Amino acid sequence: MEQIGASPLAEGARKVSLSRSERLVRLIKSVLNIRAWLHLVKIVNYYNYSHVKPMQVMRPSKDCRISPDVNFSNERNIVIGARVSIGSRCFIWAGPEQGRVVIGDDVLFGPDVLITAANYRFNDGAPVTKQLMDEADVVIGRDVWLGARVIVLPGATIGDGAIIGAGALVRGDIPANAIAVGVPARVVGTRQIPST
């Protein structure tokens, strides 16, 4: 069966490998390129306002482990408990006015988790970026585990001891010690914690 758009004589594409001297020339050109240096300034600025400055405002306890590439927005509305571990490339966005994100003690974030306490309206006109936002607090209890790529929407509440499976979309309430998965997240089990 012939593929659409394929030449009958095509052997496939080959990756171009640069010689050592070609790589050296490319390196010299990139070091001398003023646009690369200007872009570096933009990256430093972004890192400052999305991570460094928010960490100074929030002042999480020293026993928290927060990856250096976590992105915070509206940090004055974010509360982080003790011994929280936040994985790489997470986004924690509180609302621009009153929408808070409250994270309890001993919470574990996998990589790429997104928590937002605000969302744009979409029926008020165009463009969507000029519309007002609706805000609602997000509250995450103690000893919660959010798996990789979990999304938590405004107004969600996750009870103490809950586990949210990778890729889940949380809206509304998740009870304490629940195991929830899916889009939207639904409870599929209960965490059994042995008494100490």
Give the pLDDT of residue 9: 65
The string of DSSP codes covering 21-54 is HHHHHHHHHHHH-HHHHHHHHHHHHHHIIIIIHH
CB atoms inside a 10 Å sphere around CB 159: 18
pLDDT tens digits along 82-103: 999 999 999 999 999 999 999 9
Are 34 and 42 spatial neighbours (Cβ–Cβ below 8 Å)? no
Q: At what angle do helices 20-32 and 34-47 cross, to 10 degrees?
A: 70
Whether the ω angle into residue 60 lies within 30 degrees of 0, i.e. cis, is no
Q: Write the DSSP symbol of residue 124.
A: S
168-180 average pLDDT score:
97
Model pLDDT, residue 130: 85
The pLDDT tens digits of the residues spanning 104-125 come to 999 999 999 999 999 988 888 8
